[in-house]
A and B are shown apart, each in its own frame.
Chain A
Amino acid sequence: MNETTETADSIRALARDCLGLDGPVMEALVRINQRFGYVPPEAQAIVADVLNVSQADVAGVTGFYSDFRKAPPGRVVVQLCRAEACQAAGVEAVVKDVEAALGCAFGETRSDGAVTLEDAYCFGNCALSPAAMIDGRLVGRVDAQAISDAVKP
């Protein structure tokens, strides 16, 4: 079985699991995004087909939420909180250093696919700000060095 078919089958299975739920479209996309790290383009037609809604509805939901990436992320995903409590603790002063240390700008994936850098708005770690999430693991009181160290294999 080639990779494309495998992906499609996996998406179809995840969508089918949501058939019995109330308002299943969002939940199906959440699960697909969790599984792949993004919502593959073919998911739109499959989810629409399985859940019996229009492709426009699925596209609308996919486009609305910032978690639903359109392309695969890098091997490590770094999300830096830039909301008020982290601003108060000086996050904006380390933004440039983080970009330099990781070799990519916010909202981008480095060309070698090693890392994706994203901004985020609150991880609920505001007493230990600035906060970052690295591959789903929360890190408190971060600076560029800590992020750079955490990304290294």
Chain B
Amino acid sequence: MTTVLIAKDSGAKSVGADAVAAAFEAAGLDVIRTGSRGLYWLEPMAEIDGVVYGPLTPEDASGVLESGAKRIGPLADIPEFAMQNRMLFKRVGAMDPTDVEAYRASGGEAGLNAALAISPDDVIQAIADSGLRGRGGAGFPTGIKWRTVADTPDQQKYIVCNADEGDSGTFADRMLMEGDPYLLLEGLAIAGYAVGASKGFIYLRSEYPDAAETLANAIANAPFLDADLAGGFRFSIELRMGAGAYICGEETALLESLEGKRGLSRAKPPLPAHAGAFGQPTVVNNVLTLAAAPIILAEGAEAHQAMGTGRSRGTMPFQLAGNIKQGGLVEAPFGITLRQLVEDFGGGTRSGRPVRAVQVGGPLGAYFPESLLDTPMDYEAFAAAGGMLGHGGVVVFDDTVDLAAQARFAFAFCAHESCGKCTPCRIGAQRGVETVDKITSGENVDANFTVLDDLLEVMRDGSLCALGGLTPTPVESALKWFKQDFDKGASQ
């Protein structure tokens, strides 16, 4: 019987993949529901013997089978896919994510087995040698974080996976959790072995119900969890849900929430590595960071170190979003330029109008003008250009965007999501909204620009955590590159 791969990914389902799958099943085909390949402009798509058809409606099924209608071509020949370097996402879209035997058959558990065959210290050394840095946004060297937890003596330590992927424009964590959940669980187990933790938590945002279901199923069925592994190592994982608070993506607020409290940011020190979840030494890592560990252990630190640029090593799953013709996931080595992503992979705007601004790194990332599109995707290069790579989200805006409105939104979002613990964030965000409104309505414009500059400095330097501290980034970039948008009110 002919087998057809159709994604069960929530994005693919959001445009009708379930109905398409039902149509192929009705036509007598063996349908395997997979993660998404991340070529979202082709979803719902079907893959038959390596050939891609899409985007499909249920009515297309017979045409696909009888006359090859809606044929795009072999997956390997689709340039936007062929140009990628799929390491983390090699299985996503290629197999049934709930099938643990398929996971093992495609190299799953090789990383954990390699880790268990060497000492915990050597595992940490391999992670350090690979150059892996935290994929959540901060880019902190993972090996140093793990070493710190390993070196902090305590009976109980924890691995906490930050799956509170709240940045607009990002969906790589979601795709990986829905499309290859065992890889993530294996990563947590490796981290647990390396630092001496017997328990892990995955803190998942409530906006991802499909990922929750997939992860819960994988946790219940993973053969390496709640089992005696080499050397008597045992590891268990508990899934915990968030409840709609963006701030809980900040690691200390996440830990508070995990402990069952209001998601208020904590002052650092103490670092979570010394006193994290329930006061115990804790590794807090992003989904993609932990998912990289099995690959590094299985394929060697050198293979990871060999890719990338400068101090940004390995591949990064970038996410193309917003007003973009070909939105989706692009896993590529660090160093690829923003222009390559937006133009070569993304095909420009969906509206067909010129690109005016690109926000990289989520709501706290900078708005870059067209002139900065040649910036390489690299932590240091982005910082030097006044932005941040963050979690790799790329949101494209065409020339109808009003950057004063986007700056106002940055403040409004911060005000909405602020935990309220520190004054610069709690009050500053609200004052920011008001000050932008005054400027755009032409009220004491010069004086209010001065107030705004002062406010941005206070928030950046005086906030307790990254929410208040980085909200100035999108605002400052809007002021720097798109000042004319703020002057509209003044000139009227």
Contacts and interface: CB of A to CB of B under 8 A. Distances in A.
B434 to A, nearest CB: 20
Interface in A63-86: 64-68, 81, 83-86
A65 B169 contact: no
Interface string A112-129: 000000001111111111
A88 B208 contact: no
A16 to B, nearest CB: 15
B409 interface: yes
Q: Which 9 A/B pairs are nearest by Cβ-Cβ distance?
A: A127-B327, A88-B322, A126-B321, A83-B168, A23-B260, A65-B243, A140-B14, A25-B260, A127-B40
B133 interface: no
A46 interface: no
Nearest to B326: A127
Contacts of B262: 60-61, 64
A27 B208 contact: no
A25 B257 CA distance: 10
Interface of A: 21-27, 29-30, 33, 57, 60-61, 64-68, 81, 83-90, 120-129, 131, 133, 136-141
B395 A127 contact: no
- Chain B contact patch, size range: 35 or more
A29 B277 CA distance: 19
B54 to A, nearest CB: 13
Given A83-B169, A88-B397, 8 more contacts: A24-B260, A27-B240, A66-B245, A67-B243, A83-B413, A124-B171, A126-B169, A133-B207
B393 interface: yes
B305 interface: no
B174 interface: yes
Q: Name which of B320, B321, B329 has the most chain A CB atoms within 10 A of its CB.
A: B321
Nearest to A25: B260
Contacts of A124: 10-11, 165, 170-171, 173-174, 207-208
A121 B245 contact: no
A88 B15 contact: no
B13 to A, nearest CB: 7
Given A87-B409, A88-B323, A26 B174 contact: no
Nearest to B324: A127
Contacts of A121: 166, 168, 246, 413, 416-417
Contacts of A26: 240, 243, 257-261
Interface string B303-319: 00000000000000001
B322 A22 contact: no
A89 B322 contact: yes
27 contacts: A23-B258, A25-B261, A26-B240, A30-B243, A57-B261, A67-B206, A84-B168, A84-B359, A84-B406, A85-B168, A86-B168, A87-B406, A88-B323, A88-B395, A120-B244, A121-B246, A124-B207, A125-B14, A126-B395, A127-B11, A127-B40, A127-B321, A127-B327, A128-B11, A128-B327, A138-B210, A139-B14
